[in-house]
A and B are shown apart, each in its own frame.
Chain A
């Protein structure tokens, strides 16, 4: 198994799907990390 299930690179529609799916999971994770960093800085300021 290599990078893809066929030797050719993903079609443009697949690339859009890849981007969409990573944004779908990345946005909430970024929100969680932002809140975490805000709280963690209290160790140095609190």
Chain B
């Protein structure tokens, strides 16, 4: 399947909906928790067992994005979206079979392994194409797509719950729900497959920035630069700090104000979690678009610097002000989302558009690491504090200080980012041609002279 080139008159505003069709679908992964209680009762599973499909899915997301990125660049976005559609939908269909026959391993394999490949390939599939269509506003373009990943959970969560209510929460009901999910997502994602086009290589207008202007660095060369690893640290620290709040949001707000004059009910805590999701989504499009105006380095200064200040504010205020606590948490979560959405544009600034999708795929290993690190830190610290007999805001004091420290590390890493040394740049004649990538990569394998 060769990359589909846009015919004359094709609008670039058709590309974001194509990306959204994929990202809104695969974002369902974050609504997996809806299936956990019915699976536990229908198949007699523990909480740890019922989380396995999601965990394997996230691991596969990281692995397939990291290792499949170069293939996605070579084969193009339509191929990648087709693979994502087949894998993601097949994952649900296999899970339906697993639920119907009470074979839980089939659900783990289907949703986690097969579906997880769809998550990773789908996540990176539109990034490179969007950046090429919107060289003047790469932050906004990738922000739209990556906002869709956040939006996917918002759609799937109530939709899946309603479906389970209609079909029943026994294994047959779950099987029907999985079946409908697989078929619906296949149909929904097909819009992305049909719509996506790569821009023509010859630029039609003289007033626009050239697609291949600036440094062009291959994925293989990029991972050998300090810039890649500094950005890896930046993303990892920003995500870890965000997950620190997201992971414990409901118990955190309840514990914080437990001894105050206005304790927070379980219903209000659920509302707080929903509000954080909204901030996460708004940050993806809002901050990423802002980065087109103020620059990538500056926006990460805000995410990491102001983020640390917000954590410090929560720590210093304790239970004295609920509105300020909520406001600071919302700002932190908006930075968490913004960090995800802005990073492809940051990569484009540093490494060019040549293999930006593949480089982005490799960078997502920082996300996988943060996904383990964030919850581990917050839960471990909170458990130790509880054992020490602490309560209220003091339960989270150490966690908050750790998060401030992590953000400070990220801030320093961002400050150290400099333009990539020209020795890593691709020869100008080779960058636009996809067919020369393998040859270029082979040459990069040779030891560098400087």
Q: Using a CB–CB distance below 8 Å, which chain A residues touch chain B?
A: 1-8, 10-11, 14, 17-18, 21-22, 24-25, 28-29, 31-33, 35-37, 39-46
B324 within 8 A of A: no
Tell me the nearest residue of chain B to A22, going by C-beta. B17
Tally the A-B contacts, defined by beta carbons under 8 Å. Answer: 131
The contact of A18 among B6, B11, B132, by CB within 8 Å, is B11
How many of chain B's residues touch chain A, expressed as a range? 35 or more
For the complex, what is the distance from the CA of A30 to the CA of B209, rounded to whole Å? 34
On chain B, the residues within 8 Å of A28 by CB distance are 24, 155, 188
For the complex, what is the distance from the CA of A41 to the CA of B278, rounded to whole Å? 12
Could you list 13 examples of A-B contacts with CB < 8 Å?
A2-B207, A2-B208, A3-B13, A5-B9, A5-B200, A5-B204, A21-B18, A21-B195, A25-B17, A32-B151, A36-B274, A40-B271, A43-B326
Q: Please tell me if the beta carbons of B270 and A5 are within 8 angstroms of each other in the complex.
A: no
Q: Please tell me if the beta carbons of B204 and A7 are within 8 angstroms of each other in the complex.
A: yes
B229 within 8 A of A: no
For the complex, what is the distance from the CA of A25 to the CA of B11, rounded to whole Å? 17
Q: Please tell me if the beta carbons of A40 and B12 are within 8 angstroms of each other in the complex.
A: no
B341 within 8 A of A: no
Q: Please tell me if the beta carbons of A46 and B17 are within 8 angstroms of each other in the complex.
A: no
Please give the distance in Å from A40's CB to the nearest CB on chain B: 4
Q: Please tell me if the beta carbons of B275 and A7 are within 8 angstroms of each other in the complex.
A: no
Q: Please tell me if the beta carbons of B8 and A5 are within 8 angstroms of each other in the complex.
A: yes
Interface centre among A11, A29, A31 (most CB of B within 10 A): A29
Q: Please tell me if the beta carbons of A33 and B12 are within 8 angstroms of each other in the complex.
A: no
Please give the distance in Å from B203's CB to the nearest CB on chain A: 6
Identify whether the interface residues of A are mostly helix, strand, loop, or mixed: helix
For the complex, what is the distance from the CA of A41 to the CA of B207, rounded to whole Å? 47
Q: Please tell me if the beta carbons of A32 and B154 are within 8 angstroms of each other in the complex.
A: yes
On chain B, the residues within 8 Å of A46 by CB distance are 265-268, 270-271
Q: Please tell me if the beta carbons of A35 and B205 are within 8 angstroms of each other in the complex.
A: no
The contact of A1 among B8, B133, B191, by CB within 8 Å, is B133
For the complex, what is the distance from the CA of A14 to the CA of B13, rounded to whole Å? 10
User: Assuming A39-B271, A42-B267, is B155 touching A5 (CB within 8 A)?
Assistant: no
User: Assuming A28-B24, A36-B278, A46-B265, is B11 touching A3 (CB within 8 A)?
Assistant: yes
The contact of A39 among B24, B209, B211, B274, by CB within 8 Å, is B274
User: Assuming A5-B199, A14-B11, A36-B154, is B205 touching A42 (CB within 8 A)?
Assistant: no
Q: Please tell me if the beta carbons of B9 and A11 are within 8 angstroms of each other in the complex.
A: yes
On chain B, the residues within 8 Å of A11 by CB distance are 9
On chain A, the residues within 8 Å of B17 by CB distance are 18, 21-22, 24-25
Q: Please tell me if the beta carbons of B158 and A32 are within 8 angstroms of each other in the complex.
A: yes
For the complex, what is the distance from the CA of A7 to the CA of B135, rounded to whole Å? 16
Q: Please tell me if the beta carbons of A21 and B14 are within 8 angstroms of each other in the complex.
A: yes
B105 within 8 A of A: no
On chain A, the residues within 8 Å of B207 by CB distance are 2
B20 within 8 A of A: yes
For the complex, what is the distance from the CA of A39 to the CA of B205, rounded to whole Å? 47
Q: Please tell me if the beta carbons of B158 and A3 are within 8 angstroms of each other in the complex.
A: no
Which residues of B in the span 1-42 have a Cβ within 8 Å of any Cβ on A?
6-14, 17-18, 20-21, 24
For the complex, what is the distance from the CA of A35 to the CA of B154, rounded to whole Å? 8
Q: Please tell me if the beta carbons of A18 and B270 are within 8 angstroms of each other in the complex.
A: no
Please give the distance in Å from A29's CB to the nearest CB on chain B: 5
Q: Please tell me if the beta carbons of B14 and A42 are within 8 angstroms of each other in the complex.
A: no
Tell me the nearest residue of chain A to B279, going by C-beta. A40
Q: Please tell me if the beta carbons of B13 and A18 are within 8 angstroms of each other in the complex.
A: yes
Q: Please tell me if the beta carbons of B13 and A40 are within 8 angstroms of each other in the complex.
A: no
Closest 8 CB pairs of A and B: A46-B267, A43-B271, A42-B271, A32-B154, A32-B155, A46-B268, A21-B17, A39-B274
